Amino acid sequence: MFGSLKALPADPILGLLAKYREDNNPKKIDLGVGVYKDEAGHTAVLDCVKKAEKYRNDNEDTKVYIGPTGSPLFNDEMTKLIFGEHKVINENRTRTVSAPGGTGALRVAAEFIKSCKPGATIWVSNPTWANHTGLFQAAGLTVKTYPYYDYENKCLDFDGMLAALKEVSADDAVLLHACCHNPSGMDLSTEQWHQITDVAKTNGFLPVVDMAYQGFGDGLEEDASGLRHLAEHVEEMIVCSSCSKNFGLYRERIGATTLVGKSSDAVDIAYSVLLYVVRVIYSMPPAHGAAIVETILTSDELRNQWFAELKEMRDRINGNRQLIVDKLKENGVTRDFSFITRQRGMFSFLGITPEQVQQLQDEYSIYMVGSSRMSIAGIANSNVDYLAQSIAKVL
């Protein structure tokens, strides 16, 4: 049976990482992989996580299954983190399940949508996270795109986005990025969220909100404000959240899928279908990451420590945006790169050609995705001068 298979190309980002690791240039810079790094280029375990893990290790007394829903405490805390003091919680219209990371949460949502309407269409932004299309198609959904990023003017193509979404039918789903858009870093403004909400309410399509970076943009509350406004006005939606970035739990693979229904009774029916989806995909979610998160979120001490550590990561990334723009100016670059400072989250399109991206890799050992998407967290005081000088040379 295996003999009929043909090799598939390697994931471009993972392939980029392999090349970076093999590069012997001491000045090499990794701007490809989307993980947070400190000034030393290290992705450290948060101190609050270490304390929560110690508590977990000292108090865990069983490894028995936790059930398809995952930890009820984790699910409740994640729902509150996403929605705050929101009417959908007060009206008992939410149901949350733990999932294996944000990717697992998205796949669960996709399979759930297929259960609602086989062959359904989901609209994603152009561009979007590279894995969105593959995982939705693997679940049997049709994927179409709506305009989002204006590459020429380095800004949001909101007029194009709004016009496209006005044509989406009530039988379709629309994927929206809650904050820190991957890969462009260009987020919707408050007013733009309001306009999208009006279209969603009028047309009746299902909003599916991917929130992988809550707290990495402007703050935990600020980053959820658009999503919360949307939930205030639509009858149904799905939120897929991740703890990989904001808790630094990349390898623990913990996230959540949250349903918002028209009523408590309606969401109970949907929830029963969601649990069946979970059961036939992976049966039970991992427990360790959820235990860490719920320990942090239910402890005043650890929660406050997490707030501080998350702010440190957020401030460093936002500071790096201004840093690289200033350094490019210092090196005589006349092109306007100020758009980088108006973006949020881990990523930004540098806006150079694929040939220039390849030149940066070949001649200067600077690694980024061919689209010129770069991970802002890979910039550091120790490498920013070399980075700016190299970009200036290829320009």
List, by residue number, the catalytic residues: 129, 210, 245
Q: List, in order, residues 6 or more apart from 361 with CB less than 8 Å away.
A: 19, 367, 368
H helix intervals, the chain: 12-22, 47-59, 72-83, 87-90, 101-116, 130-138, 158-165, 190-203, 220-223, 225-233, 264-281, 288-297, 300-330, 354-364, 384-394
- Give Cα separations from 6 to 1, 2, 3, 9, 18 (angstroms): 12, 9, 8, 10, 22
DSSP run (H or E) holding 147: strand 142-147
The total number of residues written for the chain in this structure: 395
Bond preceding residue 183 cis, omega within 30 of 0:
yes
| β-sheet bridge partners, residue 374 | 348
Residues paired with 241 in a beta bridge: 211, 256
Sorted by sequence, the CB contacts under 8 Å of residue 112 that are 6+ apart come out as 238, 257, 259, 270, 273, 274, 277
Can you read off the two tokens belonging to residue 323? 């840093």
Kindly state the tokens that stand for 55: 């508590």
